[in-house]
Structure 1
Amino acid sequence: MPPPLSTIPLPALASELNVHPSGRPRNPPLTLTDCALKELVQYKCNLHVDRDASGRQVGAPSVVCEPVVRLLRMCENGVSVETTAWEGWRKRQEGKVEGT
């Protein structure tokens, strides 16, 4: 089992990437927006059981899967980080999302 990772607040993500876990600064520093944006689709699947009004199972259970889209930034030096929440936050900060 991998060691637990701490959660990084969205505003600090870009700067936290430039510090190694040991505390040493990354050299050369990364600019997250310069890293390639990639999309990964995973699926969350659940067992679905139809029931009648009395609560009895009707028919065979089925597996229902829904896509979960994740965004990642992959940098040339091999660093990759999931940025799904950060991408939306960054656009809101830049005023690119309608209604903000």
Structure 2
Amino acid sequence: MEELYTQEFTTPPNHKGFSAKKLFDENGKIKWGAIAYIDKDGGGPEGNHTHKENHIFIVVDGEAKIILGEQTFIVRKNESFFVNGMIPHSIWNNTDQTTVVIKISTESEAE
């Protein structure tokens, strides 16, 4: 199941000048991670794709459009989105500037 995290930033107890928010919960074993710079009108893959690994996308700057099956989700700066890799999906820049995304791939429950 896909999940969009849009929680607000908070200051934990006993912290000063410190703002944080949870981006994702436990999602299995992390396999690898990457950072992507997606140009205006960039993204992919065209036609969507599937695979066994799941993804957690974290938007660092800009705004991403994630196509997941028949649905489209907009993920803004400082938000994250979980993608089940077995559902056809792709990620696209949704702005006129470069969008920066961290991608963390995790094992699926079936692995």
Q: TM-score range by the shorter chain?
A: under 0.3
What TM-score does the superposition give when structure 2 sets the normalisation length?
0.20
Greater share of helix residues, 1 or 2?
A: 1
What TM-score does the superposition give when structure 1 sets the normalisation length?
0.22
Greater share of strand residues, 1 or 2?
A: 2
